[in-house]
Structure formats: structure tokens, C-alpha cells
Amino acid sequence: MIADVFKLYVERWEFFLELLIQHIVITLIAVLIITVIGLTVGVVMTKNEKTAKVVLLVTNFIYTIPSIALFGMLVTITGIGNKSAIIALIMYGLLPIIRNTYVGIREVDFQIIESAIGMGTTEKQLLFRIQLPLALPVIMSGFRTMVIMTIALGGIASFIGAGGLGVAIYRGISTYFPEMIIAGSLLVALLAIVTDGILQLVENKMTNIILGKRKRA
């Protein structure tokens, strides 16, 4: 079976390369939008507890909806294709980044904030120079979770006509071609593992930089 999968990779490498690129593009678009929305909403939530409760309630609810059901609902609204897939990925990916941004900023030592305010730091400076940098390890943890989840969910996006590695999986299922299913699934898993490893290195590097700055301060 494994030998047949590798033979399939060799024979259809152009097909799999095209699907891999499609998968990365769809994931990148979703991740960029999620990051912008998630960071913005997370920051706003720290200013208003009522808003925070409502946002967390809504995002938690969306998170509980089965992916296939959400994809199915979106098809009736936005049609089949990449558009519906990206919208679904965005909806699923918001919770980790919003929650971790909110929690990370809220957990910043209040004494540090008070000292900064006492030194005449503006609200904008406080956010970008103190709160976000100190909350970065927590935010990065949520970012990693979101990215890996988005890559994995992208694997079933083909069921609503989107591109990506899910096309291989779907084609294998519809034609009863086990090697194609395994080949597509392995590439999704490999992409997620490699991405997670890279993000782990980035997270560790950024954490060390922040800790170094705090020690010097």
C-alpha cells in the first residue's frame, strides 16, 4: 500500500504539486484575514467586558458547529468554490486568535501598565509597545492552533467545490481509490506538521527576545 502511494506521487507529482499550492494559497488567505480580524476584535474586547462575553459566546457557538454542516449552510448562501471554503475557515479560525489575544492582553501585569501610564505613555503606545509585545507568547500559541486547524479543515473544503489537497481525498473516496485518499491525507498532515514546527521556532525566538528585553529593563 505505501509503495503504491509513493508510486502515485511519482506518477502524478504535477497534480499533487498543484493541489498543494492551491491548499497553501487558500490557507494563507484565510489565515491573514483571521489574524487581522482576530487581533482587532481581541483588543476591542479588552476595553469592554460585555462585548467580550458576547464575542466569546458567538465564536464558541460557531466552533461547535460540525464543519460539514457549516460548509453545507454556506453553499446555499455563497455557492460552491473557494469563496465558501475561505469564509468557513475564517469562521472556525477566529476563536483561538480572538481568545488568546484577549487573555494575553488581560494577563499583562497591571503594575507595568500603571508605571507606563505614570510615565506619560499614550493609549496607543501602551498597546503597541507594552501590552501586545508582552502578550505575544499567548497570542502566538493561539495563532499556531488557528493555522494548524485551518490547514486541516482545508482538507475537506473540496466537498464544496474548493481546491486544495482535499480534491485528492474526495476523488479517492468517490472513485474508491485508497492510495489517492492516503496520498492526499499524508500531504495535509505533512503540511500541518512542517508549518507547526516552523511556527514553534518563531514562537520560541520571539519569546526569547521579549524575555531578554524584560531582563534588560
- pLDDT (tens digit per residue) in 115-155: 888 888 888 888 888 899 899 989 999 999 999 999 999 98
Cell readout for 128 is 503597541
CATH number of the domain encompassing residue 21? 1.10.3720.10
Q: Distance between CA 131 and CA 112 in Å, rounded?
A: 9
**What confidence category does residue 207 fall into, taking pLDDT thresholds of 50, 70 and 90?**
confident
Among the listed residues 34, 9, 47, the one whose alpha carbon sits nearest the alpha carbon of residue 144: 34
When divided into structural domains, the chain yields a total of 1
Per-residue model confidence (pLDDT) at position 71: 86
Structural domain span for residue 132: 2-216
C-alpha 157: how far from chain center:
15
On the 0-12 / 13-18 / 19+ scale of CB atoms within 10 A, 110 is exposed
Is residue 160 a contact partner of residue 84, using CB atoms and an 8 Å limit? yes
**Mean of the per-residue pLDDT values of the chain:** 90
**Separation of alpha carbons 46 and 10, rounded Å:** 52
Q: Is the pLDDT of residue 208 over 90?
A: no
